[in-house]
Structure 1
Amino acid sequence: MGSMLYGTPSLEAIDRAVLGEIEEMRRDLRYRLAETHRWDGQLRRQLQARAIQGSNSIEGYRAGVEDIESIMAGEAPLETSDAVAREISGYQQALTYIQVLSRTSAFGFDAGLLHALNFMMIGHHLDKTPGTVRPGAIYVRNSATGEVVYEGPDAEEVPGLLGELVDWLNEGDLEAPSHVRAAMAHFNLVGIHPWRDGNGRMSRALQTLVLGRDQITTPEFSSIEEWLGQARNTYDYYDALAEGQGGRWNPHGDTLSWVRFCLRAHHLQAQRVQRRLSEAGEVWMLLEERVDADGLNARTVSALYEVFVNRRLRRSRYQLDESLSQGQAARDLRDLTAKGWLTPYGETRGRFYAPGPRMQAIKDEFGARVVPLRDPYRH
């Protein structure tokens, strides 16, 4: 019996060239991450928060990066509703498990693992039978027009298709480049649409897990979820899926346009991560000089870096990052405020710090330098 899944396409010369550039950026990244820097932890957390933000915003669950970082730390967010915070928290749990699975020595894909990840993501919706195969037909509608854009395979076919996908994840096309396998894992899972909810998020997370298993770099550095979650790109993502799927489950081998879409996203996201990494080093050194000149403790750089990358900082975050007492953290933030680095807003529990005039000047200076990303498919 032939395969019932969508087939992995043969690449053309341009695709191999783009893959080569992605590999090169990744080697460079791995080399730079091999040395430890003071800013690594904050950068990793920021990237993970942006991946969670991207994948959830595609489903209409929107939250700011600062709030997502609070949820990740087990704190109450400032602006995000409880309902959205539950989605964020479930997704974070699944992604954290994916980070663990990426490093474990004994590993094999199985349907139980996929169901468990789905349950982690949407277990708070027990009415949606999380972690179990959907009981009936499923139709994906365009949220704007309400028209059906995709019809999944019959419910009774789903267990068999999932079984076949798991076999393929363990044994299939192992000679194909991991970015291509990861893209096909995403495409097949979203096409099978095995659950009543969470299919898109699961498929994006599976793509991240396939890359993570290949020990490329840690998942937060190789995921394209942040990229896919940005307004224009989200439309392109839906178009790429629709073009490959043709409205219903109908496996064929013509999946090159989908794989290209993913390779382009990986290339653009890698350029962005590379830029953030070099910017982190530059900003950190600059802040160290300025803080030193002001006679402030060197540890306060981590508070300033946080408001450089995000809009705001809470005392509890800084306290945790630098292992300080509440009093020490409060004093540092008072000193930074007095020197014009931070501006406090709000009272007591809702209090946070935004960039003060001196910090804003540095943010503006770096913001003005933005060079557009290079589309690897347009030479």
Structure 2
Amino acid sequence: MKWQPKYTISNKLLLTIREIGESIGEIRAQHLTHTALSKLELNARELSSYASTSIEGNPLPLTDVKRLLKSRKETIRDTEREVLNYNKALQVLYQSVRNNRFKLTVKTLEKVQAQVVDGLMDNPSYCGALRQDPVIIRNPRKVDEIVFIPPDAKDVKQLTQLLMDFINQNIGKIEPVILAGIFHRQNVIIHPFIDGNGRTTRLLTTAILGNAGLDLFEIFSFEDYYNRNITRYFKAVGLEGDYYDLKDNIDFSTWLEYFSEGILDELRRIIKLLPEEPSTKPRIETHHQQILDYILEKGSITQREYGAISDRSLASRKLDFEKLTRLNLIRAKGVGRGTYYILASSK
């Protein structure tokens, strides 16, 4: 049995993914030092820890979160523990992806949720285990109003496993942004735990982005985009009604556009923090963009394929590939006549 999500790759989604690749290339072209990258990573963790817990109603402002993450307080409130748990889980996931040890499994999902809710739940059976009880999603402003009824507890394990299988089987086949976006929404819909679903989902979404090949995943905080308009986020990621009435017609297209917008928005924020070098910044010409567009559509390009769509000489075409490689926008794979080029952000 397989699970296959429904979605359409719209022109809007394609354009956003292309701009994500260009933005990552622009950041890479800065040749940031290890110190600079570490600073950006710290900033992203602070922002993610603040935004992701804020989405769930944590009242701590960003300034307090930054101060908390730098302190070594021995006595902490639940609101502070929630932030510290998220930050710790994020660091663990960063490390596992960097060391090629990250594996998306049900056990991984349970482990992350356990880290998220550590010390915050009265019932220990709800910590680090898929739910065995029914849940109902209510309107936070009108507690008597039921918004969504997730899948029955008896179906949670199978639905979760089918989602994991889909993600793992499509790494390298589907764009990382699309793959992570699909995981994000479907896991929220399944609602595999009694508590901690949103935070767990957002943490693993970051890990999937990195594991699937999205470069520099550690330095951006897509959660901040959601936190700026929580109502829009909940409306985009969730469903209204009974899961079993809706499951056959769930479409991820609009959500994927929104999800990719969030990543691009965050990358643009980072670019604004980078030093400006207008006099030394290399230009991307029309023929360079032609290569990038071709790779985005086809997945890769060879010298022969570039020659078929361009009237530039062989020597010029080689220089084009060399320039885009130097800018960390593309990278070569294969050897000799079997050489082809893919986006640097691809795995």
TM-score greater than 0.5 by the shorter chain: yes
One-letter amino acid of the structure 1 residue matched with residue 235 of structure 2: D
Q: Contact conserved, 1:102 with 1:215, CA < 8 A, in 2?
A: no
Q: Paired residue for 1:209?
A: 207
Q: Paired residue for 2:275?
A: 278
Question: 248, 254, 257: which is aligned to 2:254?
Answer: 257
Does residue 246 (structure 1) correspond to residue 240 (structure 2)? The answer is yes
| Separation of aligned partners in 1, 2:11 and 2:201 | 27
Worse overlay, 103-112 or 258-267 = 103-112
Structure 1 SS opposite 2:242: coil
Question: 97, 116, 121: which is aligned to 2:111?
Answer: 116
> Sequence identity of aligned pairs in percent?
24
Pairwise CA distance, 1:133: 1.3
Pairwise CA distance, 1:8: 4.7
Structure 2 SS opposite 1:200: helix
Pairwise CA distance, 1:257: 0.7
Q: Contact conserved, 1:134 with 1:194, CA < 8 A, in 2?
A: yes
Q: Paired residue for 2:222?
A: 224
Q: Contact conserved, 1:186 with 1:204, CA < 8 A, in 2?
A: yes
Structure 2 SS opposite 1:127: coil
The aligned runs of 1:1-379 (5 Å cut-off) are 1-3=1-3, 7-32=5-30, 34-36=31-33, 39-76=36-73, 82-128=77-123, 129-146=126-143, 147-172=145-170, 174-230=172-228, 233-242=229-238, 245-249=239-243, 250-251=246-247, 252=249, 254-278=251-275
RMSD: 2.5
Q: How many pairs align?
A: 272
Worse overlay, 161-170 or 54-63 = 161-170
Q: Contact conserved, 2:220 with 2:270, CA < 8 A, in 1?
A: no
Structure 2 SS opposite 1:278: coil
One-letter amino acid of the structure 1 residue matched with residue 251 of structure 2: D
Q: Contact conserved, 1:8 with 1:173, CA < 8 A, in 2?
A: no
Pairwise CA distance, 1:142: 1.5
| Separation of aligned partners in 2, 1:135 and 1:255 | 27
TM-score by length of 1: 0.66
Structure 2 SS opposite 1:149: strand
| Separation of aligned partners in 2, 1:217 and 1:278 | 20
Q: Contact conserved, 1:8 with 1:184, CA < 8 A, in 2?
A: no
Q: Which has the higher contact order (CA 8 A, sep 6+)?
A: 2
Q: Contact conserved, 2:78 with 2:120, CA < 8 A, in 1?
A: no
Q: Paired residue for 1:350?
A: none
| Separation of aligned partners in 2, 1:131 and 1:277 | 40
Change in Cα spacing, 1:45 to 1:107, as seen in structure 2 (3 Å) is closer
| Separation of aligned partners in 2, 1:36 and 1:122 | 35
Change in Cα spacing, 1:268 to 1:35, as seen in structure 2 (3 Å) is closer
| Separation of aligned partners in 2, 1:83 and 1:105 | 33
Structure 2 SS opposite 1:141: strand
Pairwise CA distance, 1:135: 1.9
Structure 2 SS opposite 1:148: strand
In the TM superposition, structure 1's runs of 4+ consecutive aligned residues that sit over 6 Å from their partners are: none
